[in-house]
């Protein structure tokens, strides 16, 4: 929502960022004085001050924010550089983009006071010489709401394919597979995987691959190939079930699957399982769970290199997310 801005009046000196709320007049249109308020004004003052204090408490780096009450008139304010964060989050709330239910509830309480008890108020953000009124915005808009939570699932780009291997090679390593008599586009891979795949030349090959849509169509990159059909079907079933569940249930399933390998010291199976997630597109929460669950065995020779690669992927994703946060995305 576009904000209205105007120059500060002489009643407020230039200074730090500030959120100010005033109770101007009571129901009889008499000026409100903090030293002698009507019951309605006193009740409103208590709710507004409590909500303002809670908003400050829910703001990061809030230690430098000072809560002020002006003697005489019923004016309360929060002042300090972090109030700029309060204003940014308020804008997100107005756009229904905030998932912070506790914070939204504090602004909702202020909104209820402004709309229900017939007193006259004013409320503004100040940033240097810029004044942004918010009283009318809160009074006239529908009830503030928390951003709806979506049923997030982990989108997987993994495909499990059974076909006939008809060629291995290329300047850039790749394999060529035919499925039901139709040749797929060349599937890129590492030299190691290409060498491993040669064992299936002109035979049935079962493999997993990451898919990506490009301007030239779907592009596949080999993840792993499987001599054992049971192993192939087990991993295929896991990925299908994993990607259909909500985020929390999916992460629980991942945790228990890894534990099932560790409990029987099935490091070979675990190594193969972890290959499914050794990819730039893997969600950081998946990588985090893997690293946490495997922490006690990270030096095991069978999976040491795999864990190290996953740790490097996690660090890369973490830096990418921090960069987005810094850029305000």
**Distance of alpha carbon 100 from its chain centroid, rounded?**
12
pLDDT of residue 177 exceeding 50, the answer is yes
Q: 98 vs 21, 65, 218, CA distance in Å?
A: 22, 22, 36
Q: Are 224 and 268 in contact (CB under 8 A)?
A: no
Strands, E assignment, 13-157: 18-25, 66-70, 74-79, 120-127, 130-133
pTM above 0.75, yes or no: no
Rounded Cα distance between 138 and 123, Å, is: 9
pLDDT digits (tens, 9 = 90+) for 35-87: 889 999 999 999 999 999 999 999 988 999 999 998 778 999 999 999 999 99
Confidence category of residue 125, pLDDT binned at 50, 70, 90: very high
Q: Output the pLDDT for position 1.
A: 44
pLDDT of residue 11 exceeding 70, the answer is no
pLDDT digits (tens, 9 = 90+) for 195-224: 888 888 999 999 999 998 888 788 999 999
**What percentage of the chain reaches a pLDDT higher than 70?**
93
pLDDT of residue 7 exceeding 60, the answer is no
pLDDT of residue 193 exceeding 50, the answer is yes
Which alpha helices (DSSP H) does 264-303 contain, by range?
267-275, 284-293
Determine what percent of the chain falls in helix, strand and coil, rounding each to the nearest 5: 45, 25, 35
pLDDT of residue 96 exceeding 70, the answer is yes
Q: Output the pLDDT for position 326.
A: 65
Q: 311 vs 4, 9, 298, CA distance in Å?
A: 47, 55, 10
Q: Output the pLDDT for position 328.
A: 56
Q: Are 252 and 286 in contact (CB under 8 A)?
A: no
Q: Output the pLDDT for position 52.
A: 97
pLDDT digits (tens, 9 = 90+) for 226-271: 988 999 999 999 999 999 888 889 999 999 999 999 999 999 999 9
Rounded Cα distance between 272 and 289, Å, is: 17
Query: Which tokens go with 49?
Result: 């001050």
């Amino acid at each position: 929502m576009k904000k209205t801005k105007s120059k500060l009046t002489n009643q407020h000196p230039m200074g730090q960022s500030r959120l100010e709320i005033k109770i101007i007049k009571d129901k009889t249109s008499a000026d409100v004085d903090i030293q002698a308020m009507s019951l309605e004004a006193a009740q409103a003052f208590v709710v507004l001050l409590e909500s303002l204090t809670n908003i400050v408490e829910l703001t990061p780096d809030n230690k430098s924010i000072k809560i002020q009450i002006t003697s005489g008139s019923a004016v309360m304010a929060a002042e300090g550089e972090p109030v700029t964060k309060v204003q940014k989050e308020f804008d997100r709330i107005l756009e229904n983009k905030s998932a912070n239910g506790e914070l939204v509830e504090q602004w909702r309480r202020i909104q209820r006071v402004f709309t229900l008890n017939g007193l006259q108020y004013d409320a503004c953000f100040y940033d240097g010489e810029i004044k942004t009124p918010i009283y009318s915005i809160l009074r006239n808009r529908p009830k503030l709401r928390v951003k709806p939570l979506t049923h997030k699932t982990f989108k997987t780009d993994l495909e499990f394919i059974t076909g006939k291997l008809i060629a291995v090679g290329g300047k850039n390593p790749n394999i060529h597979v035919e499925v039901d008599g139709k040749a797929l586009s060349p599937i890129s891979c590492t030299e190691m995987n290409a060498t491993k795949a040669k064992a299936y030349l002109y035979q049935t090959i079962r493999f997993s691959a990451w898919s990506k849509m490009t301007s030239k169509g779907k592009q596949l990159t080999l993840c792993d190939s499987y001599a054992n059909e049971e192993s192939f079907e087990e991993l295929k079933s896991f990925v299908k079930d994993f990607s259909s569940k909500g985020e929390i249930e999916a992460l629980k399933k991942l945790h228990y699957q890894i534990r099932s390998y560790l409990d029987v010291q099935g490091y070979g199976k675990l190594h193969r399982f972890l290959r499914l997630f050794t990819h730039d597109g893997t969600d950081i929460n998946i990588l985090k769970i893997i690293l946490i669950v495997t922490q006690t065995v990270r030096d095991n020779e069978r999976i040491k290199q795999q864990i190290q690669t996953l740790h490097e992927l996690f660090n890369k994703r973490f830096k990418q997310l921090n960069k987005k946060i810094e850029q305000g995305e």
